[in-house]
Amino acid sequence: MSALPEEREAPVADAAVWQQVEFGSYAADLPLWRELADEAHGPVLELGAGSGRVAAHLAEHGHDVIALERDPDLIAELARSTAKLSGSVTAVRADLASSELELPASPTLVIGPLHVVQVLDSSDRPALLERLRELIAPGGQMALTVVDETTLLSAGAAATQILPDMREVDGWVYSSEPLWVQVGENALTVRRVRERVSPEGAMQRSIHDEVLNRVSPERLEIEAEELGFRPAGRRQISSGPNEADSTVVLLEVPR
């Protein structure tokens, strides 16, 4: 394989496009989020909402969503994609690592799709969990996904069979091909080759690494319980062939 040309990551303005390319078609978790939202009977807070994949699905089914996201370009795309849906989506720009999170309403359900809680390391997670414990309405629930590491090996072994994720936007063709998952002592690193081709045929390629801090469901439950949550079971999300599955850790706020 020839070496990739050295190049910076795509500009921040492309963040929404890459989210759509790499995650836009993922739907294995949507039935669970809708089920939990139907049971919650109140506002849903989504952590790391990105460009609106989950928020749009819930709003389309009449739920009111508070979408937490730190990237202004992703927030702009989220607002555009959810503007005409039956439920409301309120975007809040904030960093998950900040302990000063403020919300327009108390959520009855908090969800963390796509392993967003693993963006934080063990030193930052407690502050987020503590603040969410203060913000969630009594009797409310939180559902956080973590990578099911028992399925990583089988997913990685089949990685060479995976076709790139692709999407055309304004005449540009974007593709993202997963190369490997590296399991380190404290983190998982997912490496992808990102490629985009202009309408004139010029190609740009770059390497993108997504780093997720390792945390087991047991560890997450212990950390949350120490801050006043009550463990409420787990659910599994099967992502399909060639992809690692997810474990959803359910936590309740006592009334």
Walk me through the domains of the chain, giving residue ranges and CATH numbers: 17-149+215-252 (3.40.50.150), 151-212 (2.20.25.110)
Q: How confident is the model at residue 7 (pLDDT cuts 50, 70, 90)?
A: very low
Tens digit of each residue's pLDDT (9 = 90 or more) over 83-115: 888 779 999 999 998 878 889 999 999 999 999
pLDDT attached to residue 156: 47
The distance from CA 18 to its chain's CA centroid, rounded to whole angstroms, is 13
- Report the 10 Å Cβ neighbour count for 227: 17
pLDDT attached to residue 49: 95
pLDDT attached to residue 3: 42
CB 221 within 8 A of CB 143: no
pLDDT attached to residue 153: 63
d(CA 122, CA 159): 29
> Average pLDDT, whole number, for the chain?
89
d(CA 42, CA 32): 16
pLDDT attached to residue 145: 98
d(CA 187, CA 204): 28
CB 189 within 8 A of CB 181: yes
Question: How would you label 33-55 residue by residue, b for 16+ Cβ within 10 Å and e otherwise?
Answer: bbebbeebebbbbbbbbbbbbbb
